[in-house]
Amino acid sequence: MKSRSSQAKTLALCSLFILAMAPCLYAHPIQGELDKLSKSAAVWIYLQLGFLHILPFGFDHILFILGLLLLSPKLKTILWQATAFTVAHSITLALAMYHVVTPPTAIIEPLISLSILYVALENIVSPKLRPARIGVVFLFGLIHGLGFAGALVQLGLPKHAYLLSLLAFNLGVELGQATVILLAWFILIRWLAQKPSYRKTIVIPFSIFIALIAAVWTIQRIALALI
């Protein structure tokens, strides 16, 4: 027989998972269940949800990260860019969740897909990494942070562990991003980047693929915003 705490934890996790997959649903009906969670249970749940928001369900964020990795295959370089992205999205995620800013989803979602499109197009036209990219990555990180906030607003946060759950969700996102970077680098990029034909056979074709997907997403998201 499960304890009440265990039942609340299970129900909250299932409910939050459903909400994560269906942003149109409303989070408030499960707020009471969230508040029944212990702080440690809340941290663990939101850590998992943050990770899931990237792997396997954050396909747009995955493409953005892979786009960054394609042009700068050195692990140290991509980690610096990832750090800038992390700092930026952590700022806007916190500001949005504490209601300092209110992210308009109808604008933020198309901007996220446009950021992916921009990175992919830059990969195609630029043969090498420009110093200004880290600033661009920081700017796009601010936008993506508002996107994370939009998802987290739908999920809700337990009132008694608000900050801890927010930090856990953010850490889960970082772990998801780090997993994408390390898997892609160790399995593929590390070996392929050494070949003379790397740009011609890997960077440009994959960047074109990413750009096409991002362009379709942008059109779709703008169309949805206008409906």
Among 32, 25, 26, 21, smallest CA distance to 12 is for 32
The pLDDT assigned to 13 comes to 52
**Model confidence at 3, in pLDDT bands (50, 70, 90)?**
low
Task: Compute the mean pLDDT over every residue in the chain, rounded to the nearest whole number.
Answer: 84
Residue 76: both structure tokens together: 């140290």
Quick: pLDDT tens for 5-62: 554 454 455 444 444 444 433 344 455 567 677 888 889 989 999 999 899 889 999 9
Quick: pLDDT tens for 128-174: 888 889 999 999 999 999 998 988 887 788 888 899 999 999 999 99
- 3-class DSSP state of 24: coil
Beta carbons of 49 and 20 less than 8 angstroms apart? yes
Residue 130: both structure tokens together: 């420009």
pTM over 0.85: no
The pLDDT assigned to 226 comes to 86
Please name the amino acid found at residue 104: P
189 DSSP assignment: I
Instruction: Name the residue with tokens 């304890």.
Output: 3
The pLDDT assigned to 18 comes to 43
